[in-house]
Amino acid sequence: MSPEMGRRKIADLSVGGARMISPAVFAQKSDELKLSFRVNPAGMEVYVTVKAKVRAVQEDDAGSGRVTTGVEFTDLGEQERLYLTTVVY
């Protein structure tokens, strides 16, 4: 993530993907991304890095400047899948 883009917030997380909120468009549909984020399975802080494909990008019609981006995780490793499963369920 480039510093000028700012941080994105994960609003919804599952084993299969995530929905993120950002102040500006940072990707287009079908783009491939590498995402890094922190999860807290069983009380321990873990940083997870996953590959993802952008499935949807929607700008807020109300003029709030919010952009919602939906991604599907691809090529999840066993460890990443375990961490996400622990956090989600």
pLDDT in tens, 70-85: 999 999 999 999 999 9
- Mean residue pLDDT of the chain comes to 89
> In terms of pTM, does the model score above 0.75?
yes
Q: How confident is the model at residue 65 (pLDDT cuts 50, 70, 90)?
A: confident
State the residue range of the domain holding 29. 3-34+43-88
The candidate with the shortest Cα–Cα distance to 34, out of 59, 54, 4, is 54
Q: Which residue has the tokens 């590498």?
A: 34
Position 20, amino acid: M
pLDDT in tens, 16-42: 999 999 999 999 999 999 999 999 888
The candidate with the shortest Cα–Cα distance to 12, out of 65, 55, 43, is 55
CA 59, CA 75: separation in Å to the nearest integer? 28
Q: What is the CATH number of the domain that holds 72?
A: 2.40.10.220
The tally of domains found in the chain comes to 1
Position 64 scores a pLDDT of: 75
